[in-house]
């Protein structure tokens, strides 16, 4: 059997459909596994936070940062772009420990480095900051 006949035997319609099904199934399973891992991690984090006490401690805003993510999707002649921004604030509490929280943009804009006040949180969940003058 020469190479042309081998190519035709492997990639004929029947085998091509089987090969496509196999590759599609593998990609689908990988996607499903990644999705399930993300869901399990999210549920574990949510459960962990719910089992922690709500703490109110004095702290100072020591730094602020943001993370901007850009995405572009091409569909034919149309390019769709999207941007998302995540906001983070690091607090230093009385014990000297530093804790970083992901917060909403509106709260990010209201906080300044050096602000001092009562920090309220539960596990890794930020619940608020009450500035003291």
- Which pTM value belongs to this model? 0.70
Q: How confident is the model at residue 43 (pLDDT cuts 50, 70, 90)?
A: very high
Work out the average pLDDT over 37-59: 95
Report the pLDDT averaged over residues 35-44.
Answer: 96
Going from the C-alpha of 61 to that of each of 35, 82, 97, the distances in angstroms are 35, 30, 12
- pLDDT exceeds 70 at position 31: yes
Give dist(CA 90, CA 129) in Å, integer.
12
């Amino acid at each position: 059997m020469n190479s042309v006949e081998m190519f035709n035997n492997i990639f004929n319609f029947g085998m091509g459909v089987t090969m496509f099904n196999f590759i599609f199934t593998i990609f689908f399973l990988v996607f499903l596994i990644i999705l399930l891992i993300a869901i399990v991690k999210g549920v574990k984090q949510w459960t962990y936070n719910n089992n922690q006490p709500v703490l109110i401690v004095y702290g100072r805003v020591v730094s602020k940062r943001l993370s901007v993510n850009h995405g572009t999707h091409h569909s034919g002649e149309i390019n769709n772009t999207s941007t998302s921004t995540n906001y983070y604030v690091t607090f230093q509490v009385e014990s000297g420990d530093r804790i970083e929280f992901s917060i909403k943009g509106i709260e990010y804009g209201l906080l300044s480095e050096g602000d001092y006040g009562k920090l309220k949180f539960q596990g890794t969940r930020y619940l608020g900051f009450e500035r003291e003058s």
